[in-house]
Structure 1
Amino acid sequence: MMKTKRFIAGAVCPSCGAMDSIRMFRSETQRDYRECVECDYSDVMDVSPALEGDLPEARITREEKALEEHTDVIRFVDASSPSDAKH
């Protein structure tokens, strides 16, 4: 069985710091591996029990909640109207 190795866009190597040099693949034993094509770094991507179940809260989730909790009323005024003009 041939392993398909795929590059991960935007990934940074934890060893040499090169961006877009990390590729991942899955072995016959269904374990995920990652490797760097620049410095030959490699490791096994074990699934942490802490990551199973609910997804961790992301920054975007917090921002959406903040937007939902904070609402302001905005009034648009026509600047060309002479009654609203202040000289």
Structure 2
Amino acid sequence: MAVQKRFIAGAICPRCAEMDRIRSWEQNGVRYRDCVSCDFFEQAPIEDEAAAELETRVNREREEQQRDTIQTVKILDPRSR
């Protein structure tokens, strides 16, 4: 069975700096990338993306919202002392 290679829109090759020349594919638990304009080639194991969620502005705000709870404030009258 042939592996389908897909181009990554807007990606810039780290070696030749050409845009829209990087393609990506997965095979046997390994993610591959290469450039059709130069000899750039990279491979990396596929990790569980759910377990390795990167901290972003979006998920950081979610944690901050969970910490912020509504608390009542009692205003003290300084004359009542």
TM range (shorter): 0.5 to 0.7
The sequence identity of aligned pairs, in percent, is 35
Letter of the 1:61 counterpart = V
> What residue is the counterpart of 2:33 in the other structure?
34
Q: 1:61 and 2:73 equivalent?
A: no
Separation in 2, partners of 1:42, 1:48: 19
Structural RMSD (CA): 2.8
TM-score normalised over the length of structure 2: 0.58
Separation in 1, partners of 2:8, 2:45: 17
Letter of the 1:55 counterpart = E
Structure 1 stretches (4+) deviating beyond 4 angstroms?
none
Gapped runs of 5+ residues in structure 2? 66-81
* Alignment check: 8 A CA contact 2:31 2:44 kept: yes
Report how far residue 40 of structure 1 moved. Answer: 2.4
TM-score normalised over the length of structure 1: 0.55
Letter of the 1:11 counterpart = A
